Copies of this chain bind each other. A is one copy, B any other.
Amino acid sequence: MSRPNRMLRETNDEARAVGQDLLRQARFGALGVICPDSGGPMVSRVSVCTDAEGQPIILVSELSLHTRALNDNPTCSLLVGEPGSRGDPLIHPRLTLQCQAEEADKDGIKTIYLSRHPKAALYFDFTDFVIRRLRVTSAHLNGGFGKASFLTPGDLALA
């Protein structure tokens, strides 16, 4: 069986709405960074919320390898949108973000972050935990088979 290459769709309002929902509702994601030791990609779990601009925010420990990697090279990627526990994992929509990590004010985001992640109150104030804003530069929505679209920061309603 072969099929035509029509996986990439023109971006439409449905794709924009799905992408915006996936980003705003994300409680966690898979962060891809360049490993400073190997130079290869490295994926790890991060907790996520979005700030007033809608940009993804992560709280990470400076003792962790991913934070060291971001400090070394801020170009990163964040995958959000999780499959359910049943059925084909690939039918569930997900959003791949390309981002530039930047430092952000920890006190300024505390209320928003803890409203999204109340249990993080246990460690939010640890001095080794820092905030990074993952400023989105582009995005790729996979809304399920045959439903892929590129999205701009504007498509995601980011400032």
Contact A27 B89 (CB under 8 A): yes
Contact B128 A3 (CB under 8 A): yes
* Bound-complex Cα distance A87 to B120 (A): 10
Range, interface on chain A: 35 or more
Count of chain copies: 2
Q: How far is the CB of A93 from chain B (nearest CB, A)?
A: 10
A11 at the interface (CB under 8 A from B): no
The CB with the most chain B CB atoms within 10 A, among A3, A76, A77, A94, is that of: A77
Specify which chain B residues have a CB less than 8 angstroms from the CB of A42 in the assembled complex.
32, 41, 77, 96, 98
Contact B47 A79 (CB under 8 A): no
Contact A44 B1 (CB under 8 A): no
* Bound-complex Cα distance A36 to B99 (A): 16
* Bound-complex Cα distance A65 to B28 (A): 23
